[in-house]
Structures are given as C-alpha cells and as structure tokens.
Chain A
C-alpha cells in the first residue's frame, strides 16, 4: 500500500495552476526525490500533501483521504520539514527537537521515556547532540538546518516530507543527511525530499519526480529522469554525466538557450 498517493492534484493561485494535474504515489521504503527548477511547484505540492493549502484532486495518506484525518492523527503519520528555517525564540536545541514529539503527547503531559528516547535518537541521527544545550537561534545556518531536521526525525512519522533539507549544508553534512534519509527508507519509512543537487538526487533517491511549471515532466529511476534530453527540457541545461562505483554523477555544465 502506498503511504502517500496523489491523484490529479491541482493547486491554483489565481487563475493559473501552480501545481497542475500531478499524480504519483510513494510506497514504504522509498526515498523519492522531488526535483525541478525554481518555481516548479515543489513546495506548493508538499504543502498541499499536508492540507496546508486548498487543492483539487485527491491526496491519500496510508490509503485514507487527507480530509478524513484529524490534524493530530495526520501529524503522527506525516512529518514536514519546511524550507523556511524559522525559530522564533532562543530555546535550547534539545527543547526544539522535543517539539517533534507534540503529536504523540497529551496536552500538558511531560516527555515520556519513549519521547526522550526519540529525541535522543534524532539528536544522534542529525549529529547535533554536541550542541544540545545551546540556544537554537545562535547556531550557524547549516547547524540550524540539521537541528530542524532532528526535530522532524523526532516525530518518528512513517512518512517525511523534507523541503530542501540540504540547502546551506557543507558537502559532508549534506552527504550525512542524505544517508540518514536512506536509513529511514531502509527502516521501511518513506521520504519525499526536494533537492537541487542532481548528483545527490541521483545517488540517494530510489526514484525521482521531476516537476516543471507545475506539471509532472518525468518520473522514474534517477538515470531515466536525469537523461540529457529531460534535463534540457526541464532546466535548459546540458550536464556532464558519469558514474563511479557508488552511482551516477550529474553535474550541470552549460546553459541551453532555446
């Protein structure tokens, strides 16, 4: 059964659709990369999957229509890491990561042993336990991104929607984070992750979904989606294609102007 299924999803802002008639599904164990040029509708698609904006078409989560799920129930199934890295108050990293446990706690209840264990695991996975007592607002951009990732991991949801989680990360931490997403897949969870780095997308995602101007342009295994013809059509770039033992390498090298 698919954890997330989109059926003819359309989101309009004014007269023109921002997401236009998109259908695909994500099964347990998959890490699906959502790629496409700026303004292709990646963030809008994720927000529509959570019901944060009105949309036409159908979104089903674990086979159930999105509208049937109560907000708290949905939050136990889907975790969302927004692109905006807002942290309003200088609370500690630990306290911030514990916010991911909200859907599992009754109002006013203290953190249970299971909550604390989940926070601990998330801090380790995102490699942020070293600054657990520091105010989250005083971290560097990359550290902040990892702390917010840890918050989403602490939610322990079977489905994670991560919007550009590696933006601003150094290469080592970007690789670590993609590896973490791979672990989630191996545990039988599912991930939808939007990315701009095509090599990371090619090597770490089991499948890619390519959006352009709100429409689904290509979907399938990374090698197929990242073909020269598709990259030219989607981004207007030519790319250097290669491969090593661990997978494909795709580096945009030139601009193709029509």
Chain B
C-alpha cells in the first residue's frame, strides 16, 4: 500500500505550491523573488504592504475555506453514507447566505463591517440547531437529510424574498454578486474572524474518523461496535456549522468543492471514509486555491466570481464521474 502513503504528502505539496502561486499573483506584477522577500522581511514597504495586507489574507482564506469545504463534504458523505451529500445539504450554506443577505438588506453591513460575517455565522448555527431540532439528536440519516433540505429551501426562499423586496437594483445586484462567492478584497479582519471557527470546526470533523469507519456497516452495526452515534452527530453537525458557516460568512457561498473533491479523492484512499478526511481537506484547499488563481489569470480585470468558477470546473468533473459510474454499473 505504498502509493496510499504518498497521497497526503503529494496533496500537501500541491496545496503548498498553489498557496505560493496565490501569493505571487496579482495586479502589482512584482517578480516572485522580490515579492517573497518583501513578505518575509518587509524591506520594500509598498510591496510588503501588498503582500501582507492583500495577498496573504486572500491566500490564507483560500486555504482555510477550501480545506473546510472539502473536509466537511467528506465528513457528511461518510456520516450520511451518501455520496451526494455536501455541506450545503444540511442548510448551513443557505442559512449563512440568508444571514449575510439580511445584513446587506438592513444596511447593517454598511454601518458595521463585522455585521455581515457575524450574521452569516449566526444563520449557519441557527440552521444547524433547527435541523437538529427537526431531526432529533438520535434520528437516522434520512430524517437529517429531509430536515436539511427543508431548512435549505426555507432559507433559499427567504433569500429570494429579500432580493425581491430589495428597494434598489444596486443593492440587489450587490447581494447577487456576494452570493456568488469571492476571495477578492478580503483583509486580516476576515481571517481573524473566520480562522478560529474554521480551525475549531475542522478539529471537530477530524475527530469523526473512527465513527465514519464503523458507520460503513450501517447505524446498528456502528453502535454495536461501541460508537455513540449521538456524539457522532454532534461532531458532524457542529463541525460543519462552524467550518462551513465561517467560510460562507467571509467568502460567500462557494459550491461544488465539498461535493466534488471527496468524490475525486475517494478511490485514491481506497474508499476509506477516515483516510478521506485529511485528503479531502488538502484537496479542497488545492481546488479552491487553484480556482482563485485561475479566476485572477483568466480575467484579471473582471473579478470573476469564485463560486462561478468552482461550479464551472466542478460540474464537468462530476459529469465524467457520472459517466464512468454508469459504465461500471452497466
């Protein structure tokens, strides 16, 4: 099983390379060596400011949010034993988006820069509590999915209502653009706000490894193996709410990462739901950093939205997956 031992180091190297690429790319157009030197030593004040205040937060957010989305996707697919599960399934993303949109609509976002991410986080946690309240602490996977779909739809409908009632078209388009997801113009404020939630959430999700292994055999068998499924559910939902909620709060709803990345990496780790967790975190980080780099390379002037790009890249991957699955099952 030597190739499997190489999976994490390889993914780690790719992630690091993309992180550096993300740092080095920008409209300032400074050479790589000078940029890195400015970042580390600060000897060129103007360039150091660009590196430290603009590019570093952006790259860090790409890294953290990508990892959170990939990890949460892998954790939820393992927990629900459903390859179509993704972080958005439980209503976290939709409710975080609703919280953010409400911040726009009420004007709080303009008054207080922190209002938007805080309201989005609040939305994510409220949705999780609502889903747990609906599905119960000890209920099965199906009720949880149904509750998630219900909360997602409600949050989506309320978001549309807010757009509908939006007093002026500019506010509406601002909301629309925000919803598409982006890492542009993010600052250290966003990193310090989202970072702790992302790290804590990812920590909770990584504790699921053993539980997800046992759940391969179904809920009864897992419990007979000594897995307390109430704790499993608390970790999966709490971790997703914190990590993904924080991600949506600072970068908008970025789709497809949590769905596609675990799918692509699952065969690479021998379909083991526990080994998939760290792999999907690194894979998600790579995917989002790559998408952010691509967005800046393809159309530097147009601020191509990250969520649009991940969906554009993710959907063909997914189509290929469906195609190969169909051929294998035929």
| A contacts, CB < 8 Å to B | 47, 50, 52, 70-76, 78-80, 82, 84, 86-92, 95-96, 99-100, 102-103, 107-108, 135, 148, 151, 155
Contacts and interface: CB of A to CB of B under 8 A. Distances in A.
Contacts, number: 81
B216 A91 contact: yes
B250 interface: no
9 contacts: A50-B224, A82-B220, A84-B218, A87-B216, A89-B271, A95-B270, A99-B225, A103-B226, A107-B210
B226 A75 contact: yes
Contacts of B213: 99, 102
A230 to B, nearest CB: 30
A103 B224 CA distance: 9
B220 A84 contact: yes
Given A99-B213, A102-B213, A91 B271 contact: yes
A107 B209 contact: yes
Contacts of A102: 210, 213-214, 225-227
A88 B217 CA distance: 7
Nearest to B227: A71
B186 interface: no
Interface in B91-141: none
Given A95-B270, A102-B210, A108-B209, A88 B224 contact: no
Contacts of B226: 70-76, 102-103
A148 B217 contact: yes
A102 B216 CA distance: 13
B187 interface: no
Interface in B211-268: 213-218, 220-221, 223-228, 266
Nearest to B215: A88
Contacts of A135: 271
B25 to A, nearest CB: 37
B224 A52 contact: yes
B283 interface: no
A103 B266 CA distance: 25
Contacts of A86: 81, 217-218, 221
A88 B80 CA distance: 10
B272 A91 contact: yes
B221 to A, nearest CB: 5
Interface of B: 81, 207, 209-210, 213-218, 220-221, 223-228, 266, 270-273
Contacts of B218: 82, 84, 86, 88
Contact of A75 (B225, B266, B270): B225
Given A84-B220, A100-B225, 17 more contacts: A73-B226, A74-B226, A80-B221, A82-B224, A86-B81, A86-B221, A87-B217, A88-B215, A88-B216, A89-B216, A91-B270, A91-B272, A96-B216, A99-B213, A99-B214, A102-B210, A107-B210
Contacts of B271: 89-91, 135
B81 A82 contact: no
B220 A47 contact: yes
Contacts of B225: 75, 99-100, 102-103, 155
A76 B218 CA distance: 19
Nearest to A47: B220
For the complex of A and B, the 9 pairs showing the least CB-CB separation, nearest first, are: A75-B226, A80-B224, A86-B218, A72-B226, A88-B81, A71-B226, A89-B271, A82-B220, A102-B225
A95 B272 contact: yes
Given A50-B224, A71-B227, A79-B224, A99 B209 contact: no
Contacts of A103: 225-226
Contacts of B228: 71
A50 B216 CA distance: 19
A89 B273 contact: yes
Nearest to A138: B328
B270 to A, nearest CB: 7
Among B215, B220, B270, max chain A CB count under 10 A is at B220
Nearest to A106: B210
Among B81, B271, B273, max chain A CB count under 10 A is at B271
A99 B216 contact: yes
Contacts of A52: 220, 223-224
A88 B227 CA distance: 17
Contacts of A47: 220
Contacts of B273: 88-89
Nearest to A88: B81
Contacts of A50: 223-224
B272 to A, nearest CB: 6
Nearest to A86: B218
Nearest to A107: B210
Contacts of A84: 218, 220
Nearest to A98: B213
A37 B218 CA distance: 25
Contacts of A91: 216, 270-272
B4 to A, nearest CB: 11
